[in-house]
Structure 1
């Protein structure tokens, strides 16, 4: 119990510090690296809570795809960050107002949950015992592929349509680039691909 508590405080402190460094670092590459560190510590916190599936998804999807994509975009694009920071003070009042609104909303949500008369009863109610010992991943899989299987397939189709749409929108046909035409390759005759040369002795091509 003491070891888990110590691990919780260590991972939480590192996650909070890395999250602050994401917005405090001057170098955008360092900000992305601190973001990856934040994701790793958040995944460790999920493991401590027993949600290993969410921890693996956080590492695989966010660290392995999203954060690496951010890193490549930041490193490949030639962006003048000094020029972007010049108008920072102009938007500071608007950003502060939006942050204050979010803070008030979070406070109202927390206060409504604490003041709610059913909150104490729900918190005091014991957790139902599992009939069979199943892991988090197996329990989520049972629900996802039984009750919500059609919604899961619909979400996959929506992502497929979005992927095809992104490819169609970014596809550009240029005249100076040779492209493969499978029908022409398959239907090519022998005479079109083979040419005989009469080379005399002592001469090259």
Structure 2
């Protein structure tokens, strides 16, 4: 066993253990930190497979952005997870059985891809342009249609999430830009002449005919 194989088994073991701790940890913050450890080990495995771009993208996007945002939300909301975890261990055997069946099905589907007699050598021009550029060329040429389909699905999912979480509050105040555009000067200021509600007091007159 060489050093690459030893590192692969090490990162894989830590990844499996940390992934298991994500779903069994009592603290939500600890579960998020275990998930960060899982992402780091997955990035290390991709680095061993010479997929540097995917490895760095996993660390920057998921660890540097998504998980940090998730930790901020968890710490600010202070969600009580005791009620959410009620009955976890009673349903764990069934959930573990379903997870094992899914893993076996995925392994059977992907088994054909690992039975290659030898790896297909990369073209010299691809090796010269680098890993990241080669991935971009293949992604936007051979896999352009699946990429567009995935982009549309993500857009639909984002719009659906916004539509499901958008709620109109009765106490919320807002402005209607269309009414602001159609406003007229006469609607802004209106001069109204009102009759006095209290009569002005009369001024008494002096004997000379003038006013006091």
Q: TM-score, normalized by length of structure 2?
A: 0.64
Q: Would you say 1:141 and 2:136 are equivalent positions?
A: yes
Distance of aligned partners of 1:64 and 1:194 in 2 relative to their CA distance in 1, 3 Å threshold: farther
* Alpha-carbon shift at residue 76 of structure 1 (Å): 4.7
Q: Please state if 1:155 is matched with 2:157.
A: no
Question: Between Structure 1 and Structure 2, which shows a larger proportion of helix residues?
Answer: 1
- Stretches of structure 1 that go unaligned for 5 or more consecutive residues are 197-205
Q: CA deviation at 1:131?
A: 1.9
- 1:101 is aligned to 101
Alpha-carbon offset, residue 67 of structure 1? 3.0
Q: Greater CA deviation, 28-37 or 153-162? A: 153-162
Determine whether 1:130 maps to 2:123.
yes
Structure 2 CA distance for partners of 1:52 and 1:126, relative to 1, 3 Å: closer
Deviation of the 1:182 alpha carbon? 2.0
Q: Secondary structure at the match of 1:81?
A: coil
Size of the aligned set, in residue pairs, is 187
Report what 1:49 is aligned to.
49
Partner of 2:15: 15
Instruction: Determine the structure 1 residue equivalent to 2:204.
Output: none
Counterpart position of 1:186: 181
The yes-or-no answer on 1:29 pairing with 2:29 is yes
Aligned partner of 1:91 in structure 2 is 91
How far 1:177 sits from its partner (Å)?
2.0
Post-superposition shift, 1:91? 1.8
Computing the radius of gyration from Cα coordinates, the structure with the larger value is: 2
- 3-state SS of 1:82 partner: coil
Measure the CA separation in 1 of the matches of 2:157 and 2:25.
34
C-alpha change, 1:107 and 1:73, in structure 2 (3 Å) is same
Shift of 1:32: 0.7
2:160 corresponds to 1:165: yes
Question: What root-mean-square deviation, in Å, do the aligned CA atoms of Structure 1 and Structure 2 show?
Answer: 3.8
State the TM-score, normalized to the length of structure 1: 0.66
